[in-house]
Amino acid sequence: MLLLVLMNQCTADSIEVVEYEYQGLFPEKLKITELVGVKLESNFATTEVNMNVKLNTTGRYYIKVLTNSGKVVSKEQVRGELGDNLFTVYTATLPKSSYRIELYLEDEKVGTTSINLL
Tell the burial category of 6 from Cβ atoms under 10 Å away from its Cβ (0-12, 13-18, 19+): middle
**What's the CATH number where 63 sits?**
2.60.40.1930
Q: Is residue 27 over pLDDT 90?
A: no
Range of the domain at 22: 16-117
Q: Is residue 4 over pLDDT 80?
A: no
Q: pTM score, two decimals?
A: 0.77
The pLDDT score that the predictor gives to residue 23 is: 53
Residue 7 belongs to some domain of the structure:
no
Q: Is residue 87 over pLDDT 60?
A: yes
The pLDDT score that the predictor gives to residue 22 is: 54
Distance, in Å, from the CA atom of 20 to the CA atom of 87, rounded to the nearest integer, reads 4
Residue 11 belongs to some domain of the structure:
no
Q: Is residue 36 over pLDDT 60?
A: yes
Residue 92 belongs to some domain of the structure:
yes
Number of domains in the chain: 1
Average pLDDT over residues 2-27: 51
Residue 56 belongs to some domain of the structure:
yes
Residue 1 belongs to some domain of the structure:
no
